[in-house]
Structure formats: structure tokens, C-alpha cells
Structure 1
Amino acid sequence: MDEPAKSASPTAVGARIRALRTERGLSLSRLAADAGIGKATLSGLEAGTRNARLETLYAVAAQLGVPLGALLAGPGSSDPAPSVAGDAVTGTLLRSFADPGMTTELYRLDVRPGAVQSSPAHPRGTAEHLLVFRGTLRVGPPGAEVEVAAGGFVALATDRPHTYAAVGDEPVEAALVIRQPT
């Protein structure tokens, strides 16, 4: 797991955001307001002149009603695995599966020590399954987090806000499966 992740192309991410926004008949101003981000930020994302952070992409994906992976890679993409970084987490999309009524995404997760990653509530019925390979991860809704050590597994309903943090000074490496109703 030591290979560097390739950041998602800002131009490709921007084009996907613009296409999804247009399909839904949303103005740039409306999507920015609904996602709680600045209009200039969204405009920069769509133009491909701004790198998106994990927190921003989750906010936009939630308002567009799509899984995060829909912004990182197009349908059937054979591009190298795209990654996106947040305050504490770098997530690399490895695979996305679409079944009737459900999308399943597989991510490599790298959690840096010393910071907390806050994740907004995902759509109702969304669940995350984490398998920790290295380090110890504290994850869950604020005030009800659990610790998962290397070799451990946890499944969480993530249709409410939740956090990720490495425990101690060791980075965490994990696999994350997100199952989201479509």
C-alpha cells in the first residue's frame, strides 16, 4: 500500500459536476448554496481550476444525490484510481459497482495522525464497512466512536455525521466499502 495515489483530475471532476448539475436543472448559485460552499468555489471546481477537497466533494455529491465516486470517475472509467484528500483522510476509489437500487464503492483509505476527518451524513440507508490493515482507527458518530485496530472490522450506518481519526502517531491504512441506495 505504499504507492502514491493519483489525485482525481480537476478538469474531469469539474466536467462531471457541471454535467450532473445541468441534468438536474440546478443553477451554479443554487447548488453552491445547497452544498454550503461559495459560488466562486463551485465555479472553480467546474472550470477545473480548483482542486476539490474531500469535504467539498461530499457536500456537492450529497446535493446532487450521487455517490462520491460519481464525481471522481465517470461510468465504466478505466483511468487510474483517482484519490481525494481531506483534513485527515486520503481516499482512493478502487472500484464502483452499480446494481439496481444500490451503488457500492471500494476505497483505499489512508488516515493521517493528528487530525480528525468529519464526514457529513450520507443519504438515508448508506452504510460503510471498514477493514483496518495498519494502525488503529477511531470512527463513528461524534460521541459514539469505536476504535478498530489492525485486523479489525466495523460496519456503520453513515446516514448521520461521523468522523475518522488515527489513534496515536501511526497512520492508518484501511479498506472502505460504501453501500448507498440510488
Structure 2
Amino acid sequence: MLSPRTNRIGRRSMETRTRSSAHRDKGRSPRMGRFPDGDWASIPVDLGRLLVAARSSAGLSQEGLAAVSEVSRVTIAKIESGRTDPQLSTVYRLAAGLGVDLGALLPADPRPRKPGEK
């Protein structure tokens, strides 16, 4: 017997998928492709560049970094190419695996500062 939420081949209907994704994204931080316009959109790309530089200076391949940081090589490749916005815990594990401070992998604050603001 078919469930009312699936079509004949067992996949969720478009209505259910749309509703589910809207519910899933509610209240969460923006992910790749959903950053507001402006400098915030460059954060995943900047993070990727910093990760490549740190990994290269440590003399590690993506596979080597994956082994020491317990983050998958695929995830590392996605971060380095700017295709994903990783969780802070992932960036922390990468920094620990590289033996660098967490701040070394985080891009500078892209928001413009007002004069006199720290």
C-alpha cells in the first residue's frame, strides 16, 4: 500500500519535499548559496584559501589532513573549493590537525567598521 506522502515509486512528493526543506531551514544559519549580498558571500571561499595555505605549509595532502583531523577528504575538498560552509567544530578539528590556532583558518571580519569601532 502506498503512503500518502510518497508517489508510486516511493519518493516523496514535491509538496512534501518543499515543506520539509522549508521546515528544516527555519531558524538555522545561512548555508552556502544563501548568504546575503555583500562581503559575507566570500567567507567560504576565503576559508578555503586559508585552509589550502595552512595545509600546504604543513606539507600535508588532503588525505593526510583527513587522517590527522578525522574530517573526511571529501569534506576537506569541498571546504577548500568554497562549496560548503563548515561548522565551527569542523574548522576546529582541521586547525588541531594542522597544529595551528583556530584564528589562522578564519577569514577576517568582512563587515566594514565605523571609525573608532574595535
How far apart, in 2, do the equivalents of 1:80 and 1:65 lie? 28
Which amino acid counterpart does residue 90 of structure 2 have in structure 1?
Answer: T
Quote the RMSD (CA, aligned, Å): 2.6
Higher RCO, 1 vs 2 (CA within 8 Å, ≥6 residues apart): 2
The verdict on how the C-alpha distance between 1:78 and 1:9 changes in structure 2, with shifts beyond 3 A counting, is closer
Partner of 2:101: 67
How far apart, in 2, do the equivalents of 1:49 and 1:58 lie? 18
Choose from 51, 54, 76 the match for 1:20.
54
Structure with the largest fraction of helix = 2
* Residue pair 1:8, 1:72 contacting (<8 A) in 2 also: no
Q: Could you tell me how far 1:22 is from its partner in structure 2? A: 0.4
Choose from 110, 113, 118 the match for 1:79.
110
How far apart, in 1, do the equivalents of 2:91 and 2:85 lie? 10
Identity of aligned residues (%): 35
Choose from 37, 55, 62 the match for 2:89.
55
How far apart, in 1, do the equivalents of 2:45 and 2:109 lie? 17
Q: Deviations for 1:1-31, whole angstroms, at most 9, x for unmatched residues? A: xxx9x58711000000001100111011000
Which residues of structure 1 form unaligned runs of 5+? 82-94, 96-182
The verdict on how the C-alpha distance between 1:59 and 1:78 changes in structure 2, with shifts beyond 3 A counting, is closer
Which residues of structure 2 form unaligned runs of 5+? 1-28, 30-39, 113-117
Structure with the largest fraction of strand = 1
* Residue pair 1:31, 1:60 contacting (<8 A) in 2 also: yes
How far apart, in 2, do the equivalents of 1:62 and 1:48 lie? 20
Partner of 2:37: none
What is the aligned residue count? Answer: 76
The verdict on how the C-alpha distance between 1:34 and 1:65 changes in structure 2, with shifts beyond 3 A counting, is same
Larger radius of gyration: 2
Partner of 2:68: 34
Deviant stretches of 4+, over 6 Å: none
